[in-house]
């Protein structure tokens, strides 16, 4: 069984300047239960069904399967609304990979950087465009953003 170990940060917009184009993601949730969620994602021309377990610390079970694009398109119709729409940029940093998501639609204005780690104790340097850590703030999880989109938050 796979395990995802991930830390999540806000992006500092004035320091963010991508060097290449992002890849479009559209995803929805068939289940947003905190104990387990089930996600359908279209990422570029590929489609996936992902099951994630409850987060403990910064780790959780993650199992992902490729599925036919037509199936994903149909399953997205069954998902909670709104769907999550974003552009993803991947930035290699040493032996790790940063993923920066620039949200659109109901979550427009939100920019999140994530880094997946081999274990919870892994240290890394934060690029200049990485700001406040929000790993443990559930509001920033994609499953939460489909239930309470960023544009509805009062600051």
b vs e for 88-115, b when ≥16 Cβ sit within 10 Å of the residue's Cβ? Answer: ebebeeeeeebbbbbbeebbeebbbbbb
- Note the Cα 73 to chain centre separation in Å: 19
Of the residues 29, 43, 65, 89, only one is catalytic, namely 29
Rounded-to-integer distance, Cα 149 and Cα 4, Å: 24
Largest interatomic CA distance in the chain: 41
The alpha carbon dihedral of 115, 120, 125, 128 has a sign of positive
**Encoded tokens for 44:** 């570029």
29 is annotated as an active-site residue: yes
Q: Mind telling me the catalytic residues?
A: 29
């Amino acid at each position: 069984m796979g395990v995802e170990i991930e830390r999540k940060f806000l992006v500092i917009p004035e320091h963010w300047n991508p060097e290449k184009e992002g890849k479009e993601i559209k995803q929805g949730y068939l289940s947003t239960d905190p104990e387990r969620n089930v996600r359908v994602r279209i990422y570029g021309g590929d489609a996936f069904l992902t099951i994630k377990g409850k987060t403990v610390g910064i780790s959780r079970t993650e199992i992902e399967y490729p599925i036919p694009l037509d199936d994903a398109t149909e399953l997205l119709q069954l998902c909670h609304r709104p769907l999550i729409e974003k552009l993803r940029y991947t930035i290699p940093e040493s032996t790790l990979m940063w993923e920066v998501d620039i949200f659109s639609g109901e979550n427009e204005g939100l920019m999140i950087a994530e880094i997946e780690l081999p274990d919870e104790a892994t240290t890394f340097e934060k690029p200049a465009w990485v700001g406040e850590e929000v790993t443990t703030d559930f509001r920033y999880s994609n499953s939460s953003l489909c239930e309470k989109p960023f544009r509805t938050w009062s600051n």
